[in-house]
């Protein structure tokens, strides 16, 4: 049985996720480059839905860190992340992002492939909570599965994604299983809706970071 909301058990997540997302490694490189550009000094960083800790893996060694909090609602995922990192300034929290209660504590909050699991109203609440948790000029960076603008766009984009997964060695059955999660296990919204929601949540700067087919990255500054 899977021990988190992603399609994969924490023990096989790192291998399976690379067969699923084209450019997966690039997400983290993009975030590191952005944080480096925006924040010069040591940063306080919260990674929500951290999974096995890929974001931390890219951040440690590349960015001066005062504090890095790995947060995930899955004990299995946090367990994996913990095995990876022995840094004194790394903290681990098994908690749900919907219960986020920090105030003015972080320079950076990342949510890599996490918020698409939230329902529409939960998204609104969580974005406001992230805004509250950031310091002034702090940034939220989110990568997500996004909704194409039209039904035809959705058909084409999902077909491209189907083809990618099969080329990576997944069986047809497994690939179809993943594609069928759209709108059932995760709830993508369009790029336009993302940008509007971020603005409505109080962020003074809202930008796109990256986009390809059915994944996109956004960043927003308090
Ligand atoms: C697709 S994985 C992404 C993991 C990691 N960020 C990465 O990019 O490899 C989604 C992660 O979000 C976590 N998650 C989903 N809903 C959550 C919630 N409401 N609060 C905290 N974590 C959540 C899951 O347990 C899972 O580890």
CATH number of the domain to which 42 belongs: 3.40.50.150
pLDDT at 7: 79
Quick one: pLDDT at residue 84?
A: 86
Of the pLDDT bands very low, low, confident and very high (cuts 50, 70, 90), residue 32 is: very high
Of 28, 59, 30, which is closest to residue 45 (Cα–Cα)? 59
Q: Is the pTM of this model over 0.85?
A: yes
For ligand 1, is residue 113 a contact (CB within 6 Å)?
A: yes
With a cut of 90, say whether residue 6 has pLDDT above it. Answer: no
Distance, in Å, from the CA atom of 43 to the CA atom of 140, rounded to the nearest integer, reads 13
The atom of ligand 1 lying closest to the CA of 27 is 8
Q: Is 72 in the pocket of ligand 1 (CB under 6 A)?
A: yes
Q: Is residue 83 part of a domain?
A: yes
Domain that includes residue 19, residue range: 13-148+187-221
Distant-in-sequence, close-in-space partners of 111: CB < 8 Å, separation ≥ 6: 47, 48, 49, 97, 130, 140, 141, 142, 143, 144
pLDDT (average), residues 14-21? 88
Average pLDDT, the chain: 95
Task: Say yes or no: CB of residue 10 within 6 Å of ligand 1.
Answer: no
Cα–Cα distance measured from residue 22 to residue 175, given in angstroms and rounded to the nearest whole number:
14
* Burial environment of residue 104 by CB neighbours within 10 A (0 to 12, 13 to 18, 19 or more): exposed
Ligand 1 atom with the shortest distance to the CA of 7: 1
Q: How far, in Å, CA of 49 to CA of 70, rounded?
A: 8
Query: Cα–Cα distance between 193 and 40 in angstroms, integer?
Result: 31
Residue 46 in contact with ligand 1 by CB distance below 6 A = no
Using one digit for the tens of pLDDT, what is the confidence trace for 147-182?
A: 999 999 999 999 999 999 999 999 999 999 989 999
Of 114, 116, 185, the residue with max ligand 1 atoms within 8 A of its CB, to mutate for a pocket test, comes to 114
Q: Is 161 a domain residue? A: no
Residue of 65, 59, 122 lying closest to 88 (CA atoms) = 65
Residue 178 lies in a domain: no
Count CB atoms within 10 A of the CB of residue 53.
Answer: 25
How many distinct structural domains can be found in the chain? 1
pLDDT confidence band for 9 (50 / 70 / 90): confident
Q: Is 175 contained in some domain?
A: no
In a domain, 169, yes or no: no
The alpha carbon dihedral of 173, 215, 119, 58 has a sign of: positive
Torsion over CA: 93, 96, 99, 102 (sign): positive
Q: Is residue 41 part of a domain?
A: yes
Give the pLDDT confidence score for residue 2 in this predicted structure.
Answer: 80
* Rounded alpha-carbon distances, angstroms, from residue 57 to 25, 89, 125, 185, 200: 11, 14, 28, 27, 32
Structure tokens at 182: 């759209």
Residue 26 belongs to a domain: yes
Mean pLDDT, rounded, for 27-52: 96
For residue 210, being part of any structural domain is answered with yes
């Amino acid at each position: 049985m899977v021990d988190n909301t992603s399609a994969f058990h924490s023990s096989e997540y790192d291998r399976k996720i690379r067969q699923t997302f084209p450019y997966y490694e690039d997400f983290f490189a993009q975030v590191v480059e952005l944080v480096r550009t925006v924040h010069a000094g040591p940063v306080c960083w919260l990674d929500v839905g951290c999974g096995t800790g890929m974001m931390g893996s890219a951040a440690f060694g590349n960015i001066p860190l005062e504090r890095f909090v790995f947060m995930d609602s899955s004990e299995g995922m946090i367990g994996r992340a913990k095995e990876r990192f022995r840094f004194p300034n790394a903290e681990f929290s098994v908690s749900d992002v919907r219960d986020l209660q920090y105030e003015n504590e972080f320079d950076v909050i990342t949510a890599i492939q996490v918020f698409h699991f939230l329902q529409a109203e939960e998204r609104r609440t969580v974005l406001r909570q992230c805004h509250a948790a950031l310091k002034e000029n702090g940034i939220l960076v989110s990568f997500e599965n996004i909704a194409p603008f039209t039904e035809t766009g959705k058909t084409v984009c999902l077909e491209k994604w189907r083809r990618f997964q099969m080329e990576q060695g997944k069986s047809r059955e497994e690939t179809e299983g993943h594609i069928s999660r759209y709108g059932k296990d995760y709830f993508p919204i369009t790029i336009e809706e993302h940008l509007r929601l971020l603005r409505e949540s109080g962020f003074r700067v809202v930008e796109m970071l990256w986009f390809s087919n059915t994944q996109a990255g956004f960043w927003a500054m308090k």
